[in-house]
């Protein structure tokens, strides 16, 4: 069963507008972490934001915020005030459990294109 | 501080050959993980090394192997290359503490098998 689902293969957004990238996950482990990464055309995966399953508040990092809805098993990334440099692939990923299991499971990604 | 360094950046190999990719983690990071990224299968976990020991392994055939040295640098090897092994291979390093959440990825090695 797919553990991370990103249903938007591609998204367009106007510069300076906000955009939400969807991510749903599936796990029976009560302890897990959710990550968002940005991958520009150069290939490097750039860490954006992290949310732990026990975190009480939604994570925020600058223009990035994570809309964590635990009951719905969703962890949507919100990018505020989009910039042209935000154009890239965005991946949602999950790590289950504690320090024994450190493999990340990735979604299929969303290609975001920011238009001027 | 220096990031994760992967070498080489690009490789072209022929079917049946073998290849070795290298990853130097961030200084102080003891965990190194490897991922394969292809258009068809997406990002898939290969294996993770910690203190020179393979700690986790993904669902890949035995042709894929790796190792980690005492300085935490890691290499992965693919023997008897197949066309389907063409991919971007990404390495990620982390501190590996209970509270550590950061995985820093390198820029990857793009392998083309012809």
**pLDDT tens sequence across A33-87:** 999 999 999 899 999 999 999 998 999 999 999 999 999 999 999 999 999 999 9
Q: Minimal Cα distance from B100: which residue of A?
A: A99
Task: State yes or no: pLDDT of A96 exceeds 90.
Answer: no
Torsion, Cα of A104, A107, A70, B33 (10° steps): 10
Nearest to A98 among B94, B98, B103 (CB): B98
Beta strands of chain B (E only): which ranges?
A: 5-7, 10-13, 19-24, 31-38, 42-50, 53-57, 64-68, 74-78, 87-94, 104-105, 109-113
A40 interfaces chain B, CB cutoff of 8 Å: no
Cβ within 8 Å of residue A106, ≥6 positions away? A4, A91, A92, A93, B35, B42, B43, B44
State how far the Cα of B112 lies from the Cα of B9, in Å rounded to an integer. 11
Residue B99, pLDDT > 70, answer: no
Question: What percent of chain B lies above the pLDDT cut of 90?
Answer: 82
């Amino acid at each position: 069963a797919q553990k991370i689902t990103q249903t938007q293969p591609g998204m367009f957004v106007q510069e300076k507008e906000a955009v939400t990238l969807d991510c749903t996950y599936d796990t029976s482990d009560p302890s897990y972490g959710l990550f968002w990464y940005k991958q520009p055309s150069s290939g490097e995966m750039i860490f954006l934001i992290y949310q732990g399953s026990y975190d009480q508040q939604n994570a925020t990092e600058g223009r990035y915020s994570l809309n964590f809805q635990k009951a719905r098993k969703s962890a949507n990334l919100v990018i505020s005030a989009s910039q042209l440099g935000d154009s890239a692939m965005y991946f949602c990923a999950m790590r289950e459990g504690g320090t024994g299991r450190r493999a990340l499971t990735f979604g299929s990604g969303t290609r975001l294109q920011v238009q001027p | 501080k220096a990031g994760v360094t992967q070498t080489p950046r690009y490789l072209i190999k022929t079917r049946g050959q073998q290849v070795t990719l290298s990853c130097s983690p961030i200084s102080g990071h003891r965990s190194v993980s490897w991922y394969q990224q292809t258009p068809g299968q997406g990002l898939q976990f290969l294996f993770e090394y910690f203190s020179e020991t393979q700690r986790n392994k993904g669902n890949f055939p035995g042709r894929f192997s790796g190792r980690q040295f005492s300085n935490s640098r890691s290499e992965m090897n693919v023997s008897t290359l197949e066309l389907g092994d063409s991919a971007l291979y990404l390495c990620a390093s982390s501190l590996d503490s209970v509270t550590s959440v950061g995985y820093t990825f390198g820029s990857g090695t793009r392998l083309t098998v012809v």
